[in-house]
Structures are given as structure tokens and as C-alpha cells.
């Protein structure tokens, strides 16, 4: 999705399925906390706005983005939420570290969802600079945390609508 063409926080509230009794885990990277804090708040606020009980939202922190998938695994193993949202921000630097971290988190997020057969939502900003991160964490392009929460709700709904074997 090209965020220059879409506000991440723009959506039709009527399109959000009911999910009152569902539980959500949110794992947030402490690294780049001026970005990840607003992303996490956007996710929490969106879940509550659409009916999730505050006590059904479990927010936990990990040191950096690389640790997000393992943090998500800990949540799935601990209390089996209906979905886990991984929130972080990696900003391009002068070395290839950016590429390794982004690829590892993306693969880890995918593997996590497949391992537990539950939605694992990729809420990692992968930006070229700080301004792009600001623009996507409550700035002119909205808040990726809002989009991650909506994705979690919709994926939980899809899983629960389909027949289980």
C-alpha cells in the first residue's frame, strides 16, 4: 500500500465486525518509543472504540523490533489471545542492519501466525527517515497502529466465521 495515497486511519466504522469478547495481545518495541508509543496508543484506542473490553487488551514491551516475534510467541503461549499485534519502528541508517531487522521481523511475524493458527499482525514501520515515521504514527498519513488494530479485528472475524476442522 502506498501511504502517500491513503491515510492509514481512514476507514468505514460500519465495516468493523463485532468482537466484544475477543482478546488481543500487543507487543511494542521500546526502541524509537516516540514513534512506537503513539502507534501502540492508536491500536489500543481503536480496539476499545470498536468494543474490545480494556481488560481483554494485553500490552507488553520488548527492547527492540527484533524481539517482537518472540514477544508475540510468549503472549500466545501465556494466555492464547485471539490475535497478536506487533508494533515497532525501524528507520534506515547507514548500514545494512535495517534490512536484516525488517526481514527478520516480517518472517517472524508470518511464522508466528502460522505456528499458532491465529492472526499475527505486522505493525512495523520500515521508513527511510524519522519524518516518514512521524507521518505514519499520527501525522499526515494517519496512524499505522489504527490500521494494525483494524486488521487484527478483521482477521479474527474471518477465522471465526470459517468452519473449523
Tens digits of per-residue pLDDT, 104-117? Answer: 999 999 999 999 99
For the question of residue 141 being annotated catalytic, the response is no
What per-residue confidence (pLDDT) applies to 8?
Answer: 56
Rounded Cα distance, 162 and 105, in Å: 28
Q: Which of 50, 60, 97, 141 is catalytic?
A: 97
Average pLDDT over residues 80-100: 92
The structural domains of the chain, with segments of one domain joined by +, span: 47-156
Is the domain 47-156 a CATH 3.30.420.40 member? Answer: no
Instruction: Work out the pLDDT band at 6, boundaries 50, 70, 90.
Output: low
66-92 average pLDDT score: 97
- Give the closest residue to 49 by CA, choosing from 23, 76, 20: 20
Amino acid at each position: 500500500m502506498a501511504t502517500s495515497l491513503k491515510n492509514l486511519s481512514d476507514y468505514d466504522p460500519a465495516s468493523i465486525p463485532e468482537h466484544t469478547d475477543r482478546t488481543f495481545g500487543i507487543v511494542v518495541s521500546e526502541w524509537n518509543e516516540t514513534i512506537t508509543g503513539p502507534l501502540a496508543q492508536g491500536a489500543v484506542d481503536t480496539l476499545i472504540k470498536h468494543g474490545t473490553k480494556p481488560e481483554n487488551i494485553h500490552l507488553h514491551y520488548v527492547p527492540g523490533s527484533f524481539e517482537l516475534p518472540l514477544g508475540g510467541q510468549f503472549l500466545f503461549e501465556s494466555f492464547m489471545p485471539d490475535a497478536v499485534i506487533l508494533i515497532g519502528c525501524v528507520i534506515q541508517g547507514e548500514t545494512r542492519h535495517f534490512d536484516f531487522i525488517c526481514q527478520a521481523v516480517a518472517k517472524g511475524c508470518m511464522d508466528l501466525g502460522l505456528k499458532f493458527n491465529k492472526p499475527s499482525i505486522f505493525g512495523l514501520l520500515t521508513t527511510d527517515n524519522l519524518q516518514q515515521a512521524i507521518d505514519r504514527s499520527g501525522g499526515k498519513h494517519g496512524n499505522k497502529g489504527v490500521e494494525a488494530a483494524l486488521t487484527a479485528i478483521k482477521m479474527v472475524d474471518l477465522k471465526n466465521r470459517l468452519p473449523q476442522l
